A and B are shown apart, each in its own frame.
Chain A
C-alpha cells in the first residue's frame, strides 16, 4: 500500500507542476500587459512599476520567481481589495466551501449507498421503483434549479430553514442538500447496478455454500465489491461538486470560494482569477489522489501485483 500511495503521490505532484506551469505561460503569452490601459502614466513611472513587480525580467526568471513565491503560498495581491493578498482572500472563502463540499459528499455517499443497496436487494418491488424515480430525478435536475426551488419553497414560503446567508449550521442545510442530491443519485445508480451484478457472482455462491446467512454474505462479500465502481465515479463527482458550488454559493449568497471566484471574474481581478484557478486545480488533483488511494484500499488487485508462483 505504501508504495502504491507514494507512486500516486508523485503523479499528483507532477500533474500539479504541469498545471501551474501551463497557467503561468498561458497568462504570459496572452496579448496585453497589466499596465496596457494606464495611458496617463508617464513611461518612466511605468518602467518603475514593471521593475518593482519584476515584469521587466526575462520570462524564465519570472517563472522561477513565480514558482518560488508559490512554494511560500504567495499568489500576489488582489487588484480590487487593495493590498490584500490572494492567499488571504482564498483562505477567507475556503472554509465555507470546504464545509459545504464535505457535508455534501458524506451525505450523498452514505445515502447513495443505502438507496442503491435497498434498491438492488428489493429489485422489482415498489421500493426499487420509488428509489429509481428518485435517483433519475436527482440525476437530471440541475443543482441550480434544485437550489432555487429549495431556497424559495423551504426557505421563503415555508420558512423552515434560512433561505440564504451563512450564519450557522442550519444555514448549511439547504445548500448541502442542493449539492448532495446529485452525489446520492449517481452513487445509488452505480451501487444498484453493481450490487445486482455482484449478487450473481460465483463467490457469492461460495459464501452461501460455506453456510453464511444471506445477510452476512451480502455485508461481508457483496458490499465491498459493489463499492469499487462507485469509487471511480467519485473523482468526477468531486469536480461536479466544485463547479456546482460556484452556482449554489451564488444562489444562497454564501461567502465561499465559488462566490469569490465569480465576483473576481466580473471585476476582472486578474491575480485573484489566476490564484483561484491554480487553487481549484490543486484541489481537484488532491481529490483525485485521495480517490486513487481509496480505490487501492478497497480493491487489493489495484495495490498488489498479480500471480506469484
Chain B
C-alpha cells in the first residue's frame, strides 16, 4: 500500500537573527507525511519542533525568522516560493493548525461561532447564514453539547477542553488535507487529554486528513502516530514507524527519551532516568553530532563530524556513528525496549 506524500520537507534550515547573533533553530530537517497518516514529531523542548511546523505554514515571525534553505513540498508545490496571497489561500484550507494553549489561542472578544465562520467565509465563499450552519455542524462534530447556544458564546465561557475542541472545529472546518497540531494536549488535564486525542483520531479517519502531531509525550505518540520523527537540536536524529521507534530504537537520544518517560510496563517504583545535561546552544551549534556531549556512547568521531543518515530499514533512518560498520556494537538498554505500551 504505497500512499502518496501530502507533504515533503527537504533539508529545511530556519534561523532567527537576534541581537546576540543567528539562532540556527532548524538545521537541515527532512521528513515526509503520507496521505491519511499521522506523523509525530518528538524531542525535548527547544529542539525546533514548533519552528519546523510554523515554517510549513509560513507563520514564523519574519523578521527575525528566515527560511534560509530547503523545500517544503505540499502536493508537489514548494510552499517556500509561494507569494503571500497564494499562501493565504493554503492556510486554513489545505493546511490547518492547532496550538498548544487553548486558553490563549482564541480571540477573547469574538464569539466562538464567528471565529469558526471566518475561515468558511474566506475559503468556501459561504454567506453568513450558510457559514453559521456549517459552524453549528462543526461544533456538533467536535462534541460540544448544545451548539445552538454555545455558538454565540465567548471563549471565556468555555472550559479548557471545550476551547481545544473549538480550535479543532476551526481547524477542520474547511476539511484541510493536513492538520498540524503543536502539543495540542500539553496544557490540558490528563482525562481531557485522552478525549481530545480520541477526537482527533476519530476526525482524521472521518475526514481523511493527514496529521503532524508535535508532542514530547511518548504516551501520546504510542496512541496516535503511524510514524515518528525524533528531533534534537534542530536536526532529525531518527525516524521510523511507531513499532520501530518503540521496539527497535537505534539512536542513544531516542533511548534517553524512552528512559525518561513513564511507561506502563514498568513497576511503580522503577526510577525514571532523565537525560543528563542540556542541549547545545543553537547560536553556536557543534560541528559534530549535537548529542555527543550528553551521549554515554560518544566516540571521538562523534564530536568532530556529523554522522550520515543511514537506512536501518526502508522506513527507519538513523543519524548516528554507532550505525557505522566499524563502530563497536552497543546493546540497547533493556529497560527501554517496548517503550510505552499501547
Kindly state whether residue B93 has any CB partner on chain A within 8 Å. yes
A55 to B93, CA, bound (A): 79
Q: Which residues of the partner chain A approach B109 to less than 8 Å between Cβ atoms?
A: 224-225, 228, 298-300
**Across the interface, which residues of A come within 8 angstroms of B154, CB to CB?**
300-301, 304
**Counting CB contacts under 8 A, is A207 at the interface?**
yes
Minimal Cβ-Cβ distance residue in B for A299: B109
Closest CB in chain B relative to A211 CB, distance in Å: 4
Contact B119 A210 (CB under 8 A): yes
Contact in complex: A202, B156 (CB < 8 Å)? no
C-alpha spacing A245/B106, complex, angstroms: 43
Q: B44: shortest Cβ distance to chain A, in Å?
A: 22
The answer to whether A206 touches B156, judged by C-beta atoms less than 8 angstroms apart, is no
Interface residue tally of chain A, by bracket? Answer: 20 to 34
Q: Inside 8 A of A228's CB, which chain B residues have their CB? A: 109
A212 in contact with B122 given A202-B99, A301-B156 (CB within 8 Å): yes
Out of A209, A213, A300, A307, name the residue touching B97 (CB < 8 Å): A209
Residue B170 is within 8 A (CB to CB) of chain A in the complex: yes
Which of B11-19, B83-91, B220-228, B332-340 is near enough to bind chain A? B83-91
Query: With A205-B105, A212-B122, A221-B107 known to touch, is A300 a contact of B156 (CB < 8 Å)?
Result: yes
Which of chain A's residues have a CB closer than 8 A to the CB of B90? 211
On whether the beta carbons of A210 and B105 are closer than 8 Å, the reply is no
Is B7 part of the binding interface, using a Cβ–Cβ cutoff of 8 Å?
no
A11 at the interface (CB under 8 A from B): no
The yes or no answer to B59 lying at the interface (CB within 8 A) is: yes
Instruction: Answer whether residue A306 sits at the interface, using C-beta atoms and an 8 A cutoff.
Output: yes
A228–B96 CA distance with the chains assembled, in angstroms: 29
Cα(A204)–Cα(B107), bound, Å: 8
Contacts of A225 in B (CB 8 A): 107-109
Task: Give the Cβ gap from B242 to chain A, nearest Cβ, in Å.
Answer: 27
Q: How far is the CA of A260 from the CA of B59 in the complex (A)?
A: 59
> Does the CB pair A212–B59 fall under 8 Å?
no
Q: Tell me, yes or no, whether A208 is within 8 Å of chain B by CB.
A: yes
Q: Which residues of B contact A210 (CB under 8 A)?
A: 91-92, 96, 118-119, 122, 170
Q: Does A201 contact B (CB under 8 A)?
A: yes
Residue A167 interfacial (CB < 8 Å): no
Number of B residues contacting the other chain (C-beta, 8 Å)?
34
Asked if B273 lies at the interface with its beta carbon under 8 angstroms from chain A, I say no
Return chain A residues, CB-CB under 8 Å to B59: 205, 208-209
Complex interface bits, B120-160 against A, C-beta within 8 A gives 1, otherwise 0: 00110000000000000000000000000000011011110
B237 interfacial contact with A, CB 8 Å:
no
Which residues does chain B contribute within 8 Å of A221, judged by CB atoms? 107, 110
Partner of B107, one of A207, A213, A298, A308: A207
Question: Does B47 sit at the interface, judged by CB under 8 A?
Answer: no
Q: Contacting A206 at CB < 8 Å: which of B89, B107, B159?
A: B107
Question: Does A44 interact with chain B (Cβ within 8 Å)?
Answer: no
**B123:A211 contact, CB within 8 angstroms:** yes
Q: Which residues of B contact A213 (CB under 8 A)?
A: 85, 88
Q: Answer yes or no: A203 CB below 8 A from chain B CBs.
A: yes
A170 in the interface (beta carbon within 8 A): no
Closest residue on chain A to residue B156 by CB atoms: A301
* Chain A 193-244 interface residues, beta-carbon cutoff 8 Å to B: 201-203, 205-213, 220-221, 224-225, 228
Cβ 8 A contact of A209, one of B96, B156, B158: B96
Which of chain A's residues have a CB closer than 8 A to the CB of B157? 304-308
Task: Tell me whether A309 is interfacial, beta carbon within 8 Å.
Answer: yes
Distance to closest chain B CB from A204 (angstroms): 8
Known A-B contacts A202-B105, A304-B157; the reply to A209 vs B57 at CB < 8 A is yes
Chain B proximity mask over A280-309: 1 for CB below 8 Å, otherwise 0: 000000000000000000111100111111
Please give, as numbers and ranges, the residues of chain B lying within 8 Å of A203 by CB-CB distance: 104-108
Nearest-neighbour CB distance to chain A for B99, whole angstroms, equals: 6
Contact (Cβ within 8 A) B122 A211: yes
Task: Compute how far the CA of A221 lies from the CA of B119 in the bound complex, rounded to whole angstroms.
Answer: 13
Closest to B94 in A: A211
Give the docked Cα–Cα distance between A209 and B98 (Å): 9
- Whether B101 sits at the interface, judged by CB under 8 Å, is yes
CA of A216 to CA of B286, assembled, Å:
43
**Cα–Cα distance between A224 and B107 once the two chains are bound (Å):** 10
With a cutoff of 8 Å between Cβ atoms, the chain A residues found around residue B123 in the complex are 211
In whole angstroms, what is the CA distance A277 to B167 when docked? 53
Contact B119 A201 (CB under 8 A): no
Partner of A307, one of B85, B91, B106, B159: B159
- Output the nearest chain A residue to B57 by Cβ-Cβ distance: A209
A206 lies within 8 A of B88 (CB):
no
Measured between C-beta atoms, what is the minimum distance from B169 to chain A in Å? 12
Contact partners of B93 in chain A: CB under 8 A: 211
Taking the closest CB of chain A, its distance from the CB of B24, in whole angstroms, is 22
Tell me, rounded to whole Å, the shortest Cβ–Cβ distance linking B109 to chain A: 5
With a cutoff of 8 Å between Cβ atoms, the chain B residues found around residue A309 in the complex are: 159
Interface contact B108-A211, CB-CB below 8 Å = no
Chain A interface residues (CB < 8 Å from chain B): 201-203, 205-213, 220-221, 224-225, 228, 298-301, 304-309
Given contacts A207-B118, A209-B92, 19 further A-B contacts (CB under 8 A): A201-B104, A202-B105, A205-B97, A205-B105, A210-B91, A210-B92, A210-B96, A210-B118, A211-B122, A211-B123, A212-B122, A213-B85, A221-B107, A225-B109, A299-B109, A301-B154, A304-B153, A305-B157, A307-B156
By Cβ-Cβ distance, the 4 closest A-B pairs, closest first, are: A211-B92, A210-B92, A211-B91, A202-B105
| 7 residue pairs from A and B, CB less than 8 Å apart | A211-B90, A212-B118, A299-B109, A301-B156, A304-B153, A307-B159, A308-B157
